[in-house]
Amino acid sequence: MDDQNQYILDILAKYEAGTITQEELQILEDWYASFESNPDITDSLSPEERAVRKKQLQEKIFDQIDQETSSTAKMSKKRFFLNPGNRLWQAAASIALICAVSLYIFKKQSDKLPVSAEEQSSTIRPGTDQAILTLGNGEKILLDDSKKGELATEGNIHINKLQPGNLVYTAGKKVPKVYSNTLSTPRGGRYQLTLADGTQVWLNAQSSITYPSAFRGSTREVTITGEVYFEVAHNAAMPFRVKSENQTIEVLGTHFNVNTYKAKSVAKTTLLSGSVALSNADQRIVLRPGQQGVVAGRSLSVKQVDPTEVIAWKEGYFDFTDADIGSVIDELGRWYNVDIHYQGTATQETFTGRIPRSWPFEKVLNLLKTFKSIQVEMQGRRLIVETR
């Protein structure tokens, strides 16, 4: 490592230890500016590496900013940190990226050393309660780092985080204006939401729901991506509608699961209780409890399923019955935030089993190694799956 990089790393160490001076902080800012236009460095960092490193250093970043600004400039951490238009956000993001670049330098030095699959997989953890809330004005709130309590007020709508992984909307008696909000989970994330009408929603990893801050008019309508479970509050005078690509679900009050992951090229709606009407451009059917409606392009079909297997993700499990290996690996990849790279043709092997979502990834990797038709290898956060 050259003297310049070593000097920067020494300053970074002081930054993380909380002993950095104002002069050294300025050096870091200048150093970052010199690297910002160098694609060989910044482009080598994956979005996951930047996000993880930034998240780890948030509190230290805010401590440093608080020391350098007056009390009138201070705002709620959970608010301005994700507001791109805020000058302090830009400074914090710069410092976080500096630390991410330092991680890259360390990584380049350590890449020369052999790392076993066990060592790589031991750093991968199961998913957690994490999501981003986008308010009507475009402001974004990182929910996994925000404290409990009221996060925002829109009109007469109060948005509260009651506990980790649980967001609740409460409407006042008069709602002068309704705003469109979006809650989205990343790979390796999950979250629970209670809408203003009392409807409860669970989001699986890499999913989203867009909804009004309060419901007015003759219908209640939301739009989703990924996989979402609903327990809809009954209101016969205001039917509830769920829209996703190529389909619309109409309900009065019921429990159901919708899976629209694009990798499957189909949308699956599974009814647990009550009644829903499922429609696409050409057809409309009414589902009964235990039935699953499958929309694939312009086709719409119905089959009998075990609902408890479908919503196992909500209860903390993966539950598979004669599932093709590709689907199993894709689902595991979303939860553990692991990129999957396939080599060879698709395998016909299937898997049946129930896996706790709390398993460490090393254990999951060992399970995948027992499949006869594939060979797996870890390369950082990438899982190489090769057909035997």
Burial of 106 (0-12, 13-18, 19+ CB in 10 A): middle
- What CA–CA distance (Å, rounded) separates 31 from 34? 5
Which pLDDT value is given to residue 11? 72
Same structural domain, 174 and 192: yes
Asked if residue 224 has pLDDT above 70, the reply is: yes
Work out the angle at residue 237's Cα, subtended by the Cα atoms of residues 233 and 241, and round it to the nearest 5 degrees: 60
Token pair for residue 305?
């399923």
Evaluate whether residue 103 is within a structural domain.
yes
- Which of residues 292, 314, 336 is at a domain's end? 314
Same structural domain, 299 and 330: no
Q: Which of 59-63, 169-173, 188-192 is least confident?
A: 59-63
CATH classification at residue 262 = 2.60.120.1440
Evaluate whether residue 119 is within a structural domain.
no
CA distances from 292 to 200, 224, 281 (A): 20, 18, 18
- Under DSSP, is residue 308 helix (H, G, I), strand (E, B) or coil? helix
- Which of residues 256, 285, 314 is at a domain's end? 314
Sign of CA dihedral 34, 39, 44, 49: positive
Same structural domain, 93 and 169: no
Paired sense of beta strands 200-203 and 220-225, if any: unpaired
Evaluate whether residue 118 is within a structural domain.
no
Same structural domain, 167 and 262: no
Compare 174 and 10 and report the one with higher pLDDT: 174
Sheet holding 382-387, edge to edge: 339-343, 382-387, 374-379
Determine contact, residues 355/318, Cβ cutoff 8 Å: yes
Q: What is the mean pLDDT of residues 66-89?
A: 40
- What CA–CA distance (Å, rounded) separates 101 from 231? 44
Same structural domain, 131 and 204: yes
Same structural domain, 131 and 83: no
**Integer Rg of the chain from CA:** 24
Asked if residue 154 has pLDDT above 60, the reply is: yes
For 321-365, the pLDDT digits (tens) are: 999 999 999 999 999 999 999 998 888 899 999 999 999 999 999
- Which of residues 82, 113, 144 is at a domain's end? 113
Neighbours of 272 (CB within 10 A): 17
Same structural domain, 207 and 166: yes
Same structural domain, 289 and 242: yes
Q: What is the mean pLDDT of residues 209-219?
A: 94
CATH classification at residue 357 = 3.55.50.30
Which pLDDT value is given to residue 315? 95
Same structural domain, 49 and 101: yes
DSSP letters along 58-105, please? HHHHHHHHHHHS-GGG---HHHHTT-TT-HHHHHHHHHHHHHHHHHHH
Determine contact, residues 78/142, Cβ cutoff 8 Å: yes
Compare 7 and 90 and report the one with higher pLDDT: 7
CA distances from 177 to 196, 198, 215 (A): 13, 19, 10
| H or E element that contains 184 | strand 180-184
Same structural domain, 95 and 194: no
| H or E element that contains 379 | strand 374-379
CA distances from 94 to 5, 100, 141 (A): 17, 10, 19
Asked if residue 203 has pLDDT above 90, the reply is: yes
Which pLDDT value is given to residue 345? 87
Same structural domain, 134 and 208: yes
| 68, amino acid identity | E
Asked if residue 24 has pLDDT above 90, the reply is: no
Which pLDDT value is given to residue 238? 93
Token pair for residue 361?
């990834």
| H or E element that contains 26 | helix 22-36
Which pLDDT value is given to residue 17? 61
Same structural domain, 100 and 175: no
Token pair 């312009």 in the structure block, residue? 298
Work out the angle at residue 297's Cα, subtended by the Cα atoms of residues 294 and 300, and round it to the nearest 5 degrees: 35
Q: Whole domain around residue 367: which residue ranges? A: 317-387
Determine contact, residues 1/105, Cβ cutoff 8 Å: yes
Evaluate whether residue 121 is within a structural domain.
no
For 100-125, the pLDDT digits (tens) are: 545 544 444 444 445 555 566 678 89
**Chain centroid offset of residue 283 CA:** 32
Token pair for residue 148?
């409990």
Please count the structural domains in the chain. Answer: 4
Tell me what the pLDDT averaged over the chain comes to.
80
CA distances from 315 to 113, 225, 330 (A): 40, 20, 19
- What CA–CA distance (Å, rounded) separates 310 from 384? 27
Token pair for residue 353?
């089993």
Neighbours of 220 (CB within 10 A): 23
| H or E element that contains 14 | helix 3-17
